[in-house]
Structures are given as structure tokens and as C-alpha cells.
Amino acid sequence: MALPDLAKKPQRFTGGHRACAGCGFPITIKIILQAAENPVVVGCATGCMEVTSTIYPYTAWRCSFIHTAFENAAATVSGIEAAYRSLRRQGKIQQDIDFIAFGGDGGTYDIGLQSLSGAMERGHKLVYVCYNNQGYMNTGIQRSSATPRGANTTTTPAGTQLPGKPQHPKDLTAIMAAHDIPYAAQASMSHWNDLYRKAKKAFAVDGPAFLNVLSTCRLGWATAPEDTVDAAEGAVQCNVWPLYEVEQGKWKLTFKPKKPLPVADWMKQQGRFKHLFRADNSQLLESIQQQVDENWQRLLERCGE
Amino acid sequence: MTLSSQTKNLLKAHEEVDAKIEPNAGWRDLPIGAVIPQGGTATQFATGDWRTIRPVWSKEKCINCHRCWLYCPDMSWISEDGRIQGVDLTYCKGCGICANVCPTKVHAIEMHPEDDFKEDEAAKEGGK
Amino acid sequence: MAIAIATQKTAALTGNEAAAQALRQINPDVVAAYPITPQTEIVQLFSTFVSDGLVKTEFVAVESEHSAMSATVGAAAAGARAMTATSSQGLALMWEMLYVAAGMRIPIVMPMVNRALSSPINIHCDHSDSMGARDSGWLQIYSENAQEMYDNLIQAVRIAEHPDVLLPVMVTMDGFIISHGMENVELLPDQAVQDFVGEYNFPYPLLDVEHPRTLGPLTLQDFYFEHKREQAEAVYRAKEVILAAAEEYAAISGRRYGFFEAYRMDDAEYAVVVLGSTAGTAKYVVDGLRQAGEKCGLVKVRVFRPFPGPELCEALSGLKAVGIMDRADTFSTQGGPLFLEVKAALYHAAGQPQCMNFVYGLGGRDIDPELIRQAFVEVKDLMKKPADGVLPIVRYLGVRE
């Protein structure tokens, strides 16, 4: 699909929403919704996306949309999908409809993990999209289990004793793949074609699909608004955020940086890692690089590279 | 069972797809359950006044790659029939992503401070 | 048009079985539920109806009650009649979503089998679970026995889904005492129930993709209050709808219900007010006392939300003293929740009867006729005493000192 052709399809998410200038997730929404062939019903977890796109009486959604709470987007949409199956079986509805649940990394990795795991395990035909901006950005940049090690957040502030978040992020995409769902993938809004193709696959499978999409939060990452796409691109180029998919249990790398950049190069662009470039944190920086390298090696092995 | 007249009004409110929610509507006149009964009403909310810098597009330089259209978080780039027509400033918050993702060699979008346009616009206003 | 009372089938059923039969006859499009004692049996029985193709329902075996309510809200908002069931900790886990369901005006009907709340953990009956949810915006109907549970569930569908209401309804019965006790229950024919509940018709279904709507938006200082005001009004409107549904239900079943049942109250001078299964035992006690010449009666509250304040006030206003029995405490030093409501209603009563509160039966502690008789004696004593200005009087009945 060429972009000028993609632009010919009517958009289902409008301007006039109240996300920050330079926010990443509207781009993620755009690419995913443009990939859907059928009418969609969207469920959304509490978070920036829901809060900024549905300030009454203004909604940026041109499709059916529901928000109920923070931790239950997957459960809510699984109910909608069950309703659809029931009514379709009864002949009360004929149309093909796609079901999408959106949650940030807070609503997905943390508070919503149980609900997500349940919905995936039950096999509902829905696409769960985590717009992963690596922190609780809506409540003011707190750490999540998706926040990179060393990041300065308001609950892991870089101080004299603690240099930001102590833990590495958990590998949620692998956890979702371990549910043996037909399709799980990791993508980035910076690589639109890769994300678009993965969204297409996610809609096409007969069962649950999970997309973990890196979506820059320029406020939380402390980057310039115009650098939103570059910041996500950098995460991919330095192997912090590898792009891959797990299709029917088969792991496949979908992008391989020609020459992976040092993690420090990516971190330098972002204010949240500023303290890591002090001399006393050089060891931590090395240790982060080492962990990223190990994760990359493990991924290469899983993908048979 | 019969419906109260109040309920009839409420149901009417969400049956009318074009129903507009008035900013000073009393509680009896709003659709129940806080539903917004039609899609895309955010288009009635202009976020353009957040902007401090403005994208200026050169039709001549543009190669129609549509990266601006794709990466604009505010759906501000207008594409018709596969051709970029320019930027709709109603929603543009001036983030500058478009200028940044425009291929370096093309450089069809430049960001300019809003202040640069104040005189022009004042003149336009005066001319009316 | 005169509606003939349907030929009904008598079956020996537990409360849970009666509830499951009601669910089967309502035949919802979606049920999303999670097991919890003492409600589990409802979900289990319903699952067998699904497995045997006796219902058209899509059954979603969710991983928690929070997800049960979330999925039920999603399904009902999608345009399907959706139900769930729970007890105790399960209801507590749903808490957040109870408010969401009510605020979004999602007409869910939920059997709720009353059980004590932890801690300490206890699986037996009291009303602390549903009473904690009394201000969640759900309508609440309490059942004395399995028959009432069955009848109330079927009526609740009509009440919840009436366009004047569009609110979720919780129908309760006492855990184990009713849920696991067997009694004869009159069942309507399946078709009569289907005709009574009619088609589900949610006004803004998500699956109506031609009309995209946004449900559950962020509403701020400029609109939230108006949304809540309309929600409050719907609860007022529910009163009329509840009575109308009861009237229509009486026409097909021969069983008549109101906001409450006044038992031997005509010339009563003192009375007790109860909820749920205790009413059965209390009626037996009243009969005995009446035989002994006592002018006493009983009021069994059926509809707790909306609370029939003015109606109860009228029913109790001729009395000299009233004892209100609560199977829950509010831990506020002000007595149980039913007491608080009744006392507030009595503020406007002519002559203002003296009133006192009996908190009893927590964690399934048995309430036997002797204890209830004791309560009547205390209420009668209260009638004799002048008001001493130290009200409220809260007694803990049946607890070891």
C-alpha cells in the first residue's frame, strides 16, 4: 500500500482531540484504523487516548467507541465481541465487524494484564493494541513495568542515591505470544508500513491478536515535539524496541537494523535519560547496553536468525 | 407500560443523529448516560489556537510522499485523490512533525513563528 | 385485553435453581460470569443449559468478577441482553464497574446471592455485600424465598430495560438459606416469560455501526452534574415502572408484588421491618403473637432501591414503635442501613413512632423465632417508654456477650 492510496480511505479518527502537540498515539490509531477493512467497534482503557479524544460533547471517533474503566478494555471488548457472535448466530446481524481494544502500557502491562490475559486465553476475535509510551503519562509520568531501566519518572526520580527506574521493562509481547494466540507482534509508529502490515494480519486472523506499538510520549520522554517519530525510530535502530511478529507460534524478525546504534545514542535524544550521562552513571549505561544486547541475541535465536 | 414525555424527549435526542449538544443544555435535554450520539464531533473543536509555530507548505517542492499526512497527530494535512492540498490550520497544534518527516532533500514544509503571520492576518481582518 | 394466568408448573427447586430457571427462560444473548460461593450453582446450571443448547446465550467464562461486569456492560452496550451473577467478594470486586454500569445506563439484571464480606472470610448469609452497593445507582430488589427470587428476576428485566429507567437491577436472595434451601416454586411457561420480557432494545447499541456513538466519554465540570441529575431522576421514575411491571406480572402469574409487603399491619401498634428470608420466620412469630392478643405486625421491604420512603412512612405512621432488623452494619455507630433509611423516612411520619435497630445474623448466624420474639418484646417496651432523647437505639441481636 502506498501512502497516497492509504490517504484515500476515509479516516475514523479526527482532529480536534486534545492530545499534546506532537503526541504519538494519534499516529498509531491512524495507521491501525486505516488497516481495518470492516466497520470497527473500539473499546479504550482509561488513559491519555480516552481522556483527550472524548471530552464531552466532543469525540474524535467516527466509529462506535466505548470506554468503561482503566483495567478492563480487553474484558469490555470481549463482551462486545460475545454479543456480536450471539446476535450473528441468531441472524440478527449480518455485517462483518472488527473489534479493537486500545490501552496504554499502564492499562495493558500493569493494571489490565489480568483482563487482557483472560480475553486472549478465551479466544475472542479481537485486536488488542497497546499504545506503549513506556510510562503512566496521563497521571503525570510515573513508572510502569514498560518503562526502560534508568528512566527518570515521577515515581522513580533520578536522585543522588537512585538513578531512575531500577528494573528492566518486562517482555509483554513474549507473554502474549505465550498465550498461543494466532498473532502477536511488536511494532513502532515510526515504521508505518511494518505496523500497517501487522495490523492487517491482526484483523485477518480468526482469533485474538495482540499488537504492542511503541508510541512516543514527548512529554514523558522529554523530547521536542517535532522529534516524536525520530524518538520511536531510534528505539528500533538501537534494538531497544525490536520489530517482530509471532504468527501461529512462529517467531519472525520483521526489521533488522543494518548497524545497530548504541543505546546511548537513543537515550541522548531524551531528557528522561539525561542523568545517565553523568560520569557516576557510566556503569549503569553499560549495563543497560548489555541487557539490550542479551535480549536481542535471545530474540535472534527465537527467530532462527 | 407507557413512556413519560420526558423519556420520549430523551430518546428523541439520541435518535436524531444530527442532534447537537448545546453547551448550556439542562439535564432534561441531554442524551442519557453521557452518550455522544454522533461520531467525530471533535471536528467542532478547533485546537489550532495552541499553535506557536506554523507549517508553511511549498506546493512546488512537494513530492506527494504523504509522510506529513501520515505522521500528523492532528489530521491536519489535506489529501484529495492522492494529492496533498495543504494544511488545515483549524486543528494544527504546530508540533512540527510534518516539517521533520518531510524528506530532507525535498524540504517542502517549513515551520515559521505564528508572530510572523500576525501582520498579514490583521491586514486581512482590516480589509473585511 | 385480558391476559389469562398461565398454567404454571410446580417444581421443587433451590433458590439457585429457581434463579437459573429464570435465566434460562429470559434466555439472554450473553452471560459473562465467574463462580463464587454461594452463587456458583447458578453459573454452573446455566452452563449446562448452554452446553445442551437450551438457550441461545453466548457464555463467557471470564477470569474475574471485575471482568464479568466489564464484559456484561460491553455486551449490553453492544446491543445484546446480558446478565451475570455474583455474591460477596465477587460483588466487591465488581464495585468500580457497578457505578460504571449505572452511570452509562446499561440495563443489566444480576442475581446477587447475599453473603458476608471478608475479613474474616465467611461464606454464609448477611447483607453487607449488597448493602455496600446500595448507593452505586443500581436498583435493588430483595427476595424472601425462591419463588420471589424467580418472580423478581423476570420482572427486573422489564424494569431495567424500560426506557424511563435504563438502569441495572440487582435481585438478591439470602445465601444458603434460600440459595441452597429447596422449596416448591411455580414456574411460568417459557413462552410466557419470553412474551413478558420482550425484545432487548438498548437505545444506542455499539453494533449499530452505521450510527457511531461514543459511550463513556470524559465529562467535566460543565456536564457531569447534569448527567448525574438525570440518573437520579431515572431512579424516581423507576418507582412507577416497578409497580407497573408488578401489575403486569400479577396478570400472568397471579402473584402480586409491591415495594414492600405489610403483614398483619391493619390494626398493629408496633411492628418490625425486615429484608429477605427473615420475613418468613418473622411472619410465623407475628402469627403466634397475634394469637396471644398482641397488636403487632411486620413489614417486609422488597424494593430497597429506589427506597419507598413516603410509602413506608405512610404504612408505619400509625404505629407507636418500630423495630428495624438489619443483617448488616454500617460501622458508623448509627445502626444498620435499613434502619437509617426507615428512620429517615419516619421523620415525616405523623406521631413519629419510636424506633430501634436490631443488627442480627451476621456471617449466617441463625435467626430463630425466639430471637425475633425477643425483638418484638423490646419494641413493645419501647412503645411504653417516653422518648428519652438517646436514639438511635442499636441492639446486636443473637451475639454472645
Residue range C296-310: mean pLDDT, rounded: 98
C229 reaches B (C-beta below 8 A): yes
Nearest beta carbon to residue B3 from set C164, C215, C248? C164
What is the number of other CB atoms lying within 10 angstroms of the CB of residue C171? 30
C 103-132 residues with CB < 8 A to A: 104
Number of structural domains, chain A? 1
Do C163 and C247 belong to one domain? yes
Which chain B residue is nearest to residue C249, measuring alpha carbons? B1
- Once rounded to an integer, what is the mean pLDDT over residues A212-216? 98
Tell me, yes or no, whether C121 and C172 share the same domain: yes
C209 occurs within a structural domain: no
Report pLDDT digits (tens) over A235-281. Answer: 999 999 999 999 999 999 999 999 999 999 999 999 999 999 999 99
Question: B3 pLDDT exceeds 60?
Answer: no
Q: What is the mean pLDDT of chain A?
A: 98
CATH no. for residue B63? 3.30.70.20
Mutation choice for A interface testing from B27, B41, B62 by most A CBs within 10 A: B41
Residues B32 and B52 reside in one and the same domain: no
Mean pLDDT of the B82-95 span: 97
Supply the pLDDT for residue C351.
80
What band does B12 get if pLDDT is binned at 50, 70 and 90? low
The chain C residue lying nearest B22, using CA atoms, is C223
Q: How far is C133 from chain B (nearest CA, A)?
A: 19
pLDDT, residue C196, reads: 98
Q: Are residues C320 and C242 in the same domain?
A: no
Whether residue C282 sits in one domain with residue C191: no
- Percent over 70 (pLDDT), chain C: 98
Give contacts of B10 with chain C, Cβ < 8 Å.
163, 230
**Does the residue C210 lie in any domain?**
no
ipTM of the assembly?
A: 0.97
Question: How far is the CA of C83 from the CAs of A115, A222, A255, C28, C59, in angstroms?
Answer: 18, 46, 46, 7, 10
The mean per-residue pLDDT over the stretch C118-126 comes to 98
- Indicate whether C80 pLDDT > 60: yes
- Structural domain including C385 reads 260-397
Burial of C136 (0-12, 13-18, 19+ CB in 10 A): buried
A191 DSSP assignment: S
The whole-number pLDDT of residue B2 equals 47
CB within 8 Å of chain C, chain A residues 21-80: 39-41, 43, 50-51, 54-57, 59, 61-69, 71-72, 75-80
CA atoms within 13 A on the CB side of B90: 14
Does residue C127 have a pLDDT over 60?
A: yes
In this complex, which chains have at least 3 CB pairs below 8 Å with chain A? B, C
Average pLDDT over residues B1-25: 59
Looking at the structure, tell me whether residues C219 and C335 fall in a common domain: no
The CATH number of the domain holding residue A105 is 3.40.50.970
CA end-to-end span of chain A? 27
Q: Is pLDDT at C3 greater than 70 in this prediction? A: no
Give me the pLDDT at residue C33, please: 98
Could you tell me if B97 and B37 lie in one domain?
Answer: no
Q: How many domains does chain C have?
A: 2
pLDDT band at C1 (very low <50, low <70, confident <90, very high): very low
Same-domain status, B19 and B70: no
What burial letters (b/e) apply to A154-163, b meaning 16+ CB within 10 Å? eebebeeeeb
Is residue C174's pLDDT more than 60? yes
Mean pLDDT of chain C: 96
Give the DSSP per-residue string, A161-173: S-BS--SPPP-HH
Closest of A50, C49, C258, C9 to residue B42, by C-alpha: A50
> Same domain for C30 and C178?
yes
Domain that holds residue B74: 46-127
pLDDT of B15 strictly over 90: no
Q: Which residues contact A63 (CB under 8 A, 6 or more apart)?
A: A12, A33, A39, A40, A41, A42, B39, C209, C212
Flag if B35 and C212 touch (Cβ within 8 Å): no
C136 touches chain A (CB under 8 A): no
pLDDT of residue C389: 53
Q: Verify that B35 and B66 share a domain, yes or no.
A: no
pLDDT recorded at residue B18: 46
Domain span holding position A259 = 3-302
pLDDT digits (tens, 9 = 90+) for A106-135: 999 999 999 999 999 999 999 999 999 999
The answer to whether the Cβ–Cβ distance between A61 and C215 falls below 8 Å is no
Does C78 contact chain B (CB < 8 Å)? no
Residue B19 distance to chain A (closest CA, Å): 11
Domain match, B37 and B65 both: no
B62 and B36, same domain (yes or no): no
**How many Å lie between the alpha carbon of B96 and the closest alpha carbon of chain A?**
5
Mean of the pLDDT values across residues A56-72? 98
Q: List, for residues B33-69, the tens digit of each pLDDT value.
A: 999 999 999 999 999 999 999 999 999 999 999 999 9
Cβ of B11 within 8 Å of Cβ of C203? The answer is yes
pLDDT in tens, A148-171: 999 999 999 999 999 999 999 999
B58 and B24 share one domain: no
Which site among B95, B101, B104 would you substitute to test the A interface, given the most A Cβ atoms closer than 10 Å to its Cβ?
B95
pLDDT (0 to 100) of residue B47: 97
Q: Which of B11, B17, B40 sits opposite C163 (nearest CB)?
A: B11
Model pTM score: 0.96
Q: Given this model, what pLDDT does residue C395 score?
A: 94
% residues pLDDT > 70 (chain A): 100
**pLDDT per residue as tens digits for the range C369-385:** 999 999 999 999 998 87
Based on the domain organization, do B37 and B95 belong to the same domain?
Answer: no
Residues C29 and C171 in one domain: yes
Q: Are residues B56 and B110 in the same domain?
A: yes
**Does residue C99 register a pLDDT over 60?**
yes
* Model confidence at C252: pLDDT above 90: yes
Inter-chain contacts counted by CB atoms under 8 A, chains B and C: 83
CB-CB contact of B34 with C223 (8 Å): yes
Are residues C187 and C285 located together in one domain of the fold?
A: no
In a mutational test of the C interface, the residue from B11, B36, B41 whose CB has the highest number of chain C CBs within 10 Å is: B36
Domain holding C142: CATH number? 3.40.50.970
Q: Are B64 and B15 within one domain? A: no
Residue C280's pLDDT band (boundaries 50, 70, 90)?
very high
- Whether C222 has a pLDDT exceeding 50, the answer reads yes
Please check whether residue C63 is in contact with residue A124, taking contact to mean a CB–CB distance below 8 angstroms: no
Contact criterion met (CB < 8 Å) for A4 and B64: yes
* Average pLDDT score over chain B: 87
Q: Which of A16, A30, A230 shows the shortest C-beta gap to B45?
A: A16
Same domain, C228 and C156: yes
| CA distances, A119 to each of A78, A176, C31, C71 (Å) | 6, 11, 15, 10
Enumerate the residues of chain A whose CB falls inside 8 A of the CB of residue C206.
Answer: 41, 64-66, 80
C-chain CB neighbours of B25 within 8 Å are 226
Separation in Å, CA of B88 to nearest CA in chain C? 24
Co-location of B82 and B116 in the same domain: yes
The total domain count for chain B is: 2
Provide the CATH number for the domain around residue C348.
3.40.50.920
The answer on pLDDT for A81 being more than 80 is yes
pLDDT band per the 50, 70, 90 thresholds, residue B5: low
pLDDT of residue C349: 82
Whether the CB of C223 is below 8 Å from some CB of chain B: the reply is yes
Asked if residue B113 and residue B87 are part of one domain, the reply reads: yes
Residue of B nearest to A15 (CA): B74
Q: Are residues C380 and C320 in the same domain?
A: yes
Residue C144: pLDDT above 60?
yes
Q: Does C31 touch chain A (CB under 8 A)?
A: no
pLDDT at residue C384, as a whole number:
81
Q: Is the pLDDT of residue B17 over 50?
A: no
State the average pLDDT over residues B72-96: 97
Q: Which residues contact C158 (CB under 8 A, 6 or more apart)?
A: B1, C196, C197, C198, C241, C245, C248, C249
Hey, of C59, C70, C211, C225, which one would you mutate to test binding to chain A, going by the most A CBs within 10 A of its CB? Answer: C70
Whether the per-residue pLDDT at B91 is higher than 60: the answer is yes
Say yes or no: C236 and C316 in one domain: no
Q: What is the pLDDT of residues C315-357, one digit of tens each?
A: 999 899 999 999 999 999 999 999 999 999 999 887 889 999 9
CA distance B9 to chain A (A): 18
Does C314 have pLDDT greater than 50? yes
